[in-house]
Amino acid sequence: MFDSPLSASAYEVLGVAPDVAEDDLRRAYRMRLRETHPDTGGDAAVFIRVQRAWELIGTPEGRAAYDRSRSEPHWAAPGEARAATGTRPRARMHGRPGEWRRQRYLELVAEHAGHRMTEAEAYDPAVVRSAPWEARRMLADALAEEETALAVQELGMGFTAWHAVAAGPDAEVLDHVVLSPSGLYALTSEDFGEPVRFRQGEVIGPTVGGSTPVADLLRRMRYVAKSARVRFGGAILILPDEHLAEPATVLGTVRSMPVIVVRRSALRSVLRTGIPGARPIGGNELYDVRTRMQQTAHLV
């Protein structure tokens, strides 16, 4: 997701300036491949980002299209999921994914600028890229939530999703709750701006800092489970594709709950098949869970 408010550009990933000559660009790509290749001690997730960067700007046509997209990013999309195309039945959707984060982003950039801005001004690429990290992180996570909601929406009528569910007395929010034929899942959509790693069932990395995304997800999930009197089958953390070395990384059972980290492009497959160790549900329980969530879920 190189158009993320947090991520380095394809040029930055390859270590070159945007006006680099074609021959120098190709040499930089080959050097970065050698530096990041897992067989020579490099990071697999970074290696994937280098390959993705080359896919975007490795040809004159691709580079021109990428440069145009960088000057006109789609950051100002509405907070709710974009409409799915086609006539296929869609999942039942409740709530407005990303909207509260977008509102917080607008507040933070206004504070940084010292005056209120129109949305057009606040989403101007120059304003976004110069905004404080906290503000850019808010916008990046809003975009991530919207993309996840769109992916779930396209799963079809056998799925039901609640977005931005209140999950604690201190204004905590659970990004998504998805009821599927394979189980009931709690989901969080994140974007840390660069590849991450895992240690003892938690996400680590330079931009993760002292935060605990998995522990936060499980805490919010338990709050919703208690409030709605439902039992979750598993927890899913969703990250941009180029931030993970594998489509899915199973963290195992964390605090008695199966947890998996997935690339966004792999989410639909995971929700269809279920995650290892997840508690399945079916029959009357599906109806009961849907009813309880519908009656008790407070959407932010």
Mean pLDDT of the chain: 90
Say whether pLDDT at 79 is over 50: no
Q: On the CB side of 161, how many CA atoms lie within 13 Å of its CA?
A: 31
CA–chain centroid gap for 181, Å, is 23
Contacts of 159 (CB under 8 A, 6+ apart): 91, 92, 152, 178, 179, 180, 181, 271
Report the candidate in 117, 224, 100 with the shortest Cα–Cα distance to residue 165: 224
With vertex at residue 247, the alpha carbon angle to CA 242 and CA 249, rounded to the nearest 5 degrees, is 110
| CB distance 248 to 265 below 8 Å | no
| CB distance 164 to 100 below 8 Å | yes
Residues 166-183: what's their mean pLDDT? 93
**pLDDT at position 81, please?**
42
Domains of the chain: 10-71 (1.10.287.110), 92-296 (no CATH)
Range in 28-32, 68-72, 131-135, 193-197 the model is least confident about? 68-72
**pLDDT at position 1, please?**
52
Coil, strand, or helix at residue 186?
strand
Residues 154-180: what's their mean pLDDT? 94
Residues 69-85: what's their mean pLDDT? 62
Task: Quickly count: other Cβ atoms within 10 Å of residue 248's Cβ.
Answer: 16
| CB distance 122 to 106 below 8 Å | yes
CA distances from 285 to 88, 195, 291, 300 (A): 26, 38, 10, 26
Residues 209-215: what's their mean pLDDT? 94
Query: CA 214, CA 9: separation in Å to the nearest integer?
Result: 27
pLDDT-derived band at 86 (thresholds 50, 70, 90) equals: low
Give tens-digit pLDDT for 5-39.
887 789 989 999 999 999 999 999 999 999 999 99
**pLDDT at position 80, please?**
41
Q: Phi, psi at residue 169, to the nearest 5°?
A: -70, -15
**pLDDT at position 149, please?**
96
Q: In the block, which residue shows the tokens 């709050």?
A: 223
**pLDDT at position 182, please?**
85
Distance between the two ends of the chain, CA-based, in angstroms?
26
**pLDDT at position 277, please?**
87
Task: Characterize 59-86 residue by residue with b for buried, 16 or more Cβ atoms within 10 angstroms of its Cβ, and e for exposed.
Answer: eeeebeebeeebeebebebebbbeebee
Say whether pLDDT at 77 is over 60: no
Task: Quickly count: other Cβ atoms within 10 Å of residue 292's Cβ.
Answer: 14
Say whether pLDDT at 2 is over 60: no
Query: CA 252, CA 154: separation in Å to the nearest integer?
Result: 27
Give tens-digit pLDDT for 256-291.
999 999 999 999 999 999 988 888 887 888 999 999
Which uninterrupted H or E stretch holds 198? strand 197-199
**pLDDT at position 283, please?**
82
- Looking at per-residue pLDDT, the higher value among 11 and 126 belongs to 11
User: Strands across the sheet with 257-263, in order?
Assistant: 92-94, 160-166, 173-180, 183-189, 234-239, 257-263, 248-254
**pLDDT at position 44, please?**
85
Query: CA 163, CA 96: separation in Å to the nearest integer?
Result: 6
pLDDT-derived band at 121 (thresholds 50, 70, 90) equals: very high
For a pLDDT cut of 70, what percent of the chain falls above it? 96
Q: Are strands 257-263 and 234-239 parallel, antiparallel or unpaired?
A: parallel
